[in-house]
Structure 1
Amino acid sequence: MDVNTTGGPVRGTTTGTVTAFRGIPYATAKRFQPPSPHPRWTETKDASNPGPAAPQLRSRLAHVMGEHEANWAEDGCLNLNVWTTGVDAGKPVLFWIHGGGFSSGSGGWDWYDGGLLAANHDIVVVTINYRLGPFGYLGADNLGAQDQQAALEWVHENIAAFGGDPGQITVGGQSAGAYSSLYLAIDPATKPLIRRIVLESGPWGLPPMDPDVAERTAKAFFEHVDRDAPAEQILQATTTLPGNAPGAPAFYPVLGGPGYPKAWPDADLSDLDVLIGFTKDEAAAFPGLQGMFEASVRTIAEASATAFTYRFDRTGPLGAPHCVELPYLFGTFDAFAASPMLDPDKPRTTDFGDAVAQFTRTGDPGWPKAPEFRYFV
């Protein structure tokens, strides 16, 4: 299947009822510069393979999720992926932002393959890449957040060509992706593009970085490495920085920078439709930090127009740790075959993904509104 986008034509790969378009450039950017529209191409671009991930070191969650080869490149990492069952109708859209502590991950990994969600629920699924670590969150420019905004704007402009309804975009994510999703929904620049939000295990107890701290961190960082150094050296220099608050990554969004005009407790959440929750044993991945993910779930739900809350209790060898719900969301159990967090004897049910997809379609995941919790056991 071929689709024309504002950047140029792309050709996807069809499997069964779903066509996947992978590695579509949505923007381009020079190092430490904001994203700009990708130059237009005229020949049909092969979109059968994921684009490169953003530069990154080994994930600090590998002991929970398992290892994944990053296949990263600094050039061309601003790309996204689309799964659709056809271009003939205005389908609801799930715009998904991967987690990874603002320092690792990729929307192009098989962990986040949106094919099953698209096939089972006739929605369009989009996953994105954005700049990470020092390339995305060094100083107050919040370049990674600007990338996310550029991707959302690209989807709003182009998703109708893939069968999606630009007026029915649900933005969601897990961990850092949930954090990003909430801030996209309260930033006046992007709020009008979003219908609903899905917030899985966001680190709500971590406020955006203070701009003075960000300035000091950037100054200290460039005492260890030159701005023009190879990407590998810049990544390695992150290991020399002193630690931030417990559980905080070295680089993450800065208050007052693009995308973060105010901290969420100071923002008006009263017109948001939200599905929000956490896992029973978040602290199995981050010892002592269960409260960072759990404590504010009720606060956000109470401040929202309509909210549905859940706790994911389905356990494996590590209990129900941070990230455990992801294969149950996407149905990508084979991709997580080497993950220490999954019990291979547990039923491979997609009830959690069904609920998220139903919320994307209708605004109702199928259980009573908050303050009642839905427990996935």
Structure 2
Amino acid sequence: MDVNTTTGPVRGATNGKVTAFRGIPYATAERFRPPTPHPAWTESRDATKPGPAAPQLQSRLSWVMGERELDWAEDGCLNLNVWTTGATAKKAVLVWFHGGGFTSGSGGWDWYDGTNLAGHNDIVVVTANYRLGALGYLYKPELGADNLGPQDQGAVLRWVHDNIAAFGGDPDQITVGGQSAGAYSALYLAIDPATKDLVHRLVLESGPWALPPTDPATAAKTADRFLDALGEDPEKATAEQILATVPKLAEPGMAAPPLMPVLGGAGYPRPWTDADLSGLDVLIGHTKDEMVAFGGGPDIFEQGVHEIAKAANGFAYRFDRSGPLGAPHCVELPYLFGTFEAFRGSPMMDLKAAETDFGTAVADFTRTGDPGWNRYPEFRHFV
């Protein structure tokens, strides 16, 4: 199946019901520069394989989720993936951003394969990469480095709005969602004046709501510490050198990632606590044992669920389905995407457990704004 995008034709691969388009470039960017439109092409572009992930180290949650082969490349990492059952109807769209503490993850990994979610529910699913770690969240405006990861995410939404009709999606019915750092990002995309009109509903899974965006003064000091530790021209250093420097910023007992979005920078005009959420349809929740994945400590996820669900048109859930580690951070992901085989090596999973209707509820909300249960303060428990 071939589809014409605004930059050129792409060819996907079908399983008979769902066609997957993988590794489509949505933008390009020089290091520490904002994303710009990708140059156009004329010949049909092969979109049957995932594109490279953004540069990263292994996740600190690999002991929970399992380790990944790190298939990253700095050049070409700004790519996305689309799953659709056909290009003729105007279907609801779920644009989903991966988590990973703003330092790891990829929308191209099989954990987040949209085949089952799209095929069983007749929605269009989009996942995407964005720049991570120092390459995405170093705050050095004089270099051009100003919330580059969030700027990439905004470029994703603009690409989807401009192109998704060609894949059978409705550009006026885009739900933006994500898990953990991806959920945090999704909420701010709905707050930012530059992108809020592109967001029609929100699915927010286990966002670290207790962590505020970094204030500019702290972010500037962190950037100076990073550059001192790097000891190289940041624009000429290798990606490997940059990656090796980021762990040096960590401090004992540090709950927040050392590099996070910066308040007042691109995409983060105000804290979510000061934003008007009253007009937003939101599905939001957390898992029963979030902090097990982080070795315990104060829960940075749950309280914000209550505050956001109350302020918005909120539906709330708690994911209670337990495996060997209880119901930790990330445990709901295979139930959303139906990707149990991809999680076979994950210590958190009990693959004998039956599926829940979590993915169906998210898809129903994406289509209609109603996941099938009562609004907050009632919680839907997935057990």
- Settle same-fold status: TM greater than 0.5: yes
Match of 2:344 among 337, 343, 351: 337
Match of 2:370 in 1: 364
Using the TM superposition, give the Cα deviation of residue 291 of structure 1 relative to its aligned residue in structure 2, in angstroms. Answer: 2.2
- Tell me whether 1:196 sits opposite 2:196 in the alignment: no
- Residues 147-168 of structure 1 show CA distances to partners (whole Å, capped at 9, x for unaligned) of 0000110000000000000000
Match of 1:258 in 2: 266
Q: Assess if the C-alpha contact under 8 Å between 2:340 and 2:351 holds in 1.
A: no
Using the TM superposition, give the Cα deviation of residue 69 of structure 1 relative to its aligned residue in structure 2, in angstroms. Answer: 1.1
User: Which segments of 5 or more consecutive residues in structure 2 lack a partner in the other structure?
Assistant: 141-145
Match of 2:103 in 1: 103
SS at 2:64 equivalent:
helix
- Tell me whether 1:268 sits opposite 2:276 in the alignment: yes
CA distance in 2, matches of 1:245, 1:133: 19
User: Which deviates the most, 102-111 or 231-240?
Assistant: 231-240
- Residues 175-216 of structure 1 show CA distances to partners (whole Å, capped at 9, x for unaligned) of 000000000011111110111000000000000001101101
Q: Assess if the C-alpha contact under 8 Å between 1:111 and 1:336 holds in 2.
A: yes
Q: Assess if the C-alpha contact under 8 Å between 1:13 and 1:48 holds in 2.
A: yes
CA distance in 1, matches of 2:348, 2:3: 38
SS at 2:174 equivalent:
strand
Using the TM superposition, give the Cα deviation of residue 68 of structure 1 relative to its aligned residue in structure 2, in angstroms. Answer: 1.1
CA distance in 2, matches of 1:265, 1:244: 27
Counterpart residue identity of residue 369, structure 1: R
Q: How many residues are matched? A: 375
Match of 1:168 in 2: 173
Counterpart residue identity of residue 295, structure 2: P
Using the TM superposition, give the Cα deviation of residue 130 of structure 1 relative to its aligned residue in structure 2, in angstroms. Answer: 0.1
TM-score, normalised to structure 2's length? Answer: 0.96
SS at 2:70 equivalent:
coil
- Provide the identity percentage: 70
Using the TM superposition, give the Cα deviation of residue 224 of structure 1 relative to its aligned residue in structure 2, in angstroms. Answer: 2.0
CA distance in 1, matches of 2:48, 2:298: 39
Match of 1:119 in 2: 119
Matched ranges for 1:283-298 at <5 A: 283-298=291-306
Q: Assess if the C-alpha contact under 8 Å between 1:330 and 1:350 holds in 2.
A: no
Using the TM superposition, give the Cα deviation of residue 343 of structure 1 relative to its aligned residue in structure 2, in angstroms. Answer: 1.1
CA distance in 1, matches of 2:219, 2:252: 10
CA distance in 1, matches of 2:298, 2:6: 43
Using the TM superposition, give the Cα deviation of residue 241 of structure 1 relative to its aligned residue in structure 2, in angstroms. Answer: 1.8
- Residues 111-139 of structure 1 show CA distances to partners (whole Å, capped at 9, x for unaligned) of 00001111111100000000000000000
SS at 2:96 equivalent:
strand
CA distance in 2, matches of 1:92, 1:266: 29
Using the TM superposition, give the Cα deviation of residue 240 of structure 1 relative to its aligned residue in structure 2, in angstroms. Answer: 1.7
Using the TM superposition, give the Cα deviation of residue 289 of structure 1 relative to its aligned residue in structure 2, in angstroms. Answer: 3.9
CA distance in 1, matches of 2:188, 2:152: 13
Matched ranges for 1:1-377 at <5 A: 1-139=1-139, 141-225=146-230, 226=232, 227=234, 228-243=236-251, 246-304=254-312, 306-347=313-354, 349-377=355-383
Counterpart residue identity of residue 311, structure 1: R
CA distance in 2, matches of 1:221, 1:206: 21
Q: Assess if the C-alpha contact under 8 Å between 1:70 and 1:105 holds in 2.
A: no
Q: 1:103 to 1:17 in 2, by over 3 A?
A: same
Q: 1:343 to 1:236 in 2, by over 3 A?
A: same
Q: 1:242 to 1:82 in 2, by over 3 A?
A: closer
CA distance in 2, matches of 1:43, 1:275: 41
Q: Assess if the C-alpha contact under 8 Å between 2:100 and 2:181 holds in 1.
A: yes
CA distance in 1, matches of 2:21, 2:351: 30
Counterpart residue identity of residue 161, structure 1: A
Counterpart residue identity of residue 21, structure 2: F
CA distance in 1, matches of 2:301, 2:272: 14
Using the TM superposition, give the Cα deviation of residue 244 of structure 1 relative to its aligned residue in structure 2, in angstroms. Answer: 8.3
- Residues 243-265 of structure 1 show CA distances to partners (whole Å, capped at 9, x for unaligned) of 28731111110000001000000
CA distance in 1, matches of 2:248, 2:188: 29
- Residues 293-317 of structure 1 show CA distances to partners (whole Å, capped at 9, x for unaligned) of 001111111111x210000000000
User: Which deviates the most, 285-294 or 164-173?
Assistant: 285-294
CA distance in 2, matches of 1:336, 1:242: 28
CA distance in 2, matches of 1:15, 1:290: 45
- Residues 75-126 of structure 1 show CA distances to partners (whole Å, capped at 9, x for unaligned) of 0000000000001010000000000000000000000000111111110000
Counterpart residue identity of residue 37, structure 1: P
Using the TM superposition, give the Cα deviation of residue 239 of structure 1 relative to its aligned residue in structure 2, in angstroms. Answer: 1.8
Using the TM superposition, give the Cα deviation of residue 16 of structure 1 relative to its aligned residue in structure 2, in angstroms. Answer: 2.0
User: Which segments of 5 or more consecutive residues in structure 1 lack a partner in the other structure?
Assistant: none
Match of 2:143 in 1: none
Q: 1:195 to 1:356 in 2, by over 3 A?
A: same
User: Which deviates the most, 236-245 or 146-155?
Assistant: 236-245
